[in-house]
């Protein structure tokens, strides 16, 4: 069986395909987390209304924090993959294609970032993320607190949950500023 030489360019293209496949999988997973969150919120609200037990709303904050954190981590990895392609793979492949410079590999990776509406979309996405993963569980906590039917242990738990949701909200805003 004859040996086949693999060029650096072929290796870079294979790496590109691999990271883009990972990015695509993460995008699908991340986007589905919003739908899962909506379904969980609807189910908890329906169960709470049916049982007439405001304490059941205490299930929302931990679920929303876990789903929100998972969403945020995947979103960060998606952005990191894009940055890696733009800043590392693209330039390395371009230098192989045209050693003197002037060639840009994977132009879409940078072109779409120059869209004039990108900033407004990022702001709107941050608002959606904060609403789904932070405002909804905080509203659930507010309903629980107004209801006043919880004992001291449940109130203490609700305060811890509020702190966790606040921490997630800070992370959502912090990551949005970094992007």
- pLDDT tens digits, one per residue of 31-70: 999 999 999 999 999 999 999 999 999 999 999 999 999 9
Tell me the HSE value of 86 on the side-chain side, using a 13 A CA sphere: 13
Task: Report residue 96's pLDDT band, with 50, 70 and 90 as the boundaries.
Answer: confident
| Residue 108: both structure tokens together | 């879409």
- pLDDT 10s digits, 121-174: 999 999 999 999 999 999 999 999 999 877 899 999 999 999 999 999 999 999
Asked which of 1-15, 46-60, 66-80 is least confident by mean pLDDT, the reply is 1-15
What's residue 17's pLDDT?
Answer: 96
Query: Is the pLDDT assigned to residue 104 strictly greater than 90?
Result: no
Task: Report residue 102's pLDDT band, with 50, 70 and 90 as the boundaries.
Answer: confident
- Count of CB atoms situated within 10 Å of the CB of 169: 19
User: The whole model's pTM is what?
Assistant: 0.88
Domain boundaries, the chain: 8-178
Give the closest residue to 141 by CA, choosing from 166, 167, 159, 128. Answer: 159
CB under 8 Å to 144, separation ≥6 — which residues? 54, 55, 57, 58, 150, 154, 158
């Amino acid at each position: 069986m004859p040996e086949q030489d693999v060029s650096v360019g072929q290796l870079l293209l294979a790496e590109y395909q691999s990271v883009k496949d990972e990015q695509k999988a993460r995008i699908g997973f991340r986007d589905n987390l919003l739908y899962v969150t909506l379904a969980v919120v609807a189910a908890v609200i329906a169960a709470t209304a049916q049982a007439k037990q405001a304490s059941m709303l205490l299930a929302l904050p931990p679920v929303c924090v876990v789903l929100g954190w998972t969403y945020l981590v995947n979103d960060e990895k998606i952005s990191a993959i894009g940055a890696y392609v733009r800043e590392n793979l693209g330039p390395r492949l371009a230098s192989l294609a045209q050693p003197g410079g002037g060639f840009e590999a994977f132009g879409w990776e940078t072109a779409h970032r120059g869209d004039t509406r990108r900033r407004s979309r990022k702001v709107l996405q941050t608002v959606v993320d904060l609403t789904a993963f932070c405002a909804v569980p905080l509203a659930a906590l507010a309903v629980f607190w107004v209801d006043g039917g919880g004992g001291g242990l449940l109130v203490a738990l609700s305060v811890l949950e509020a702190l966790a949701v606040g921490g997630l909200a800070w992370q959502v805003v912090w990551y949005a500023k970094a992007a």
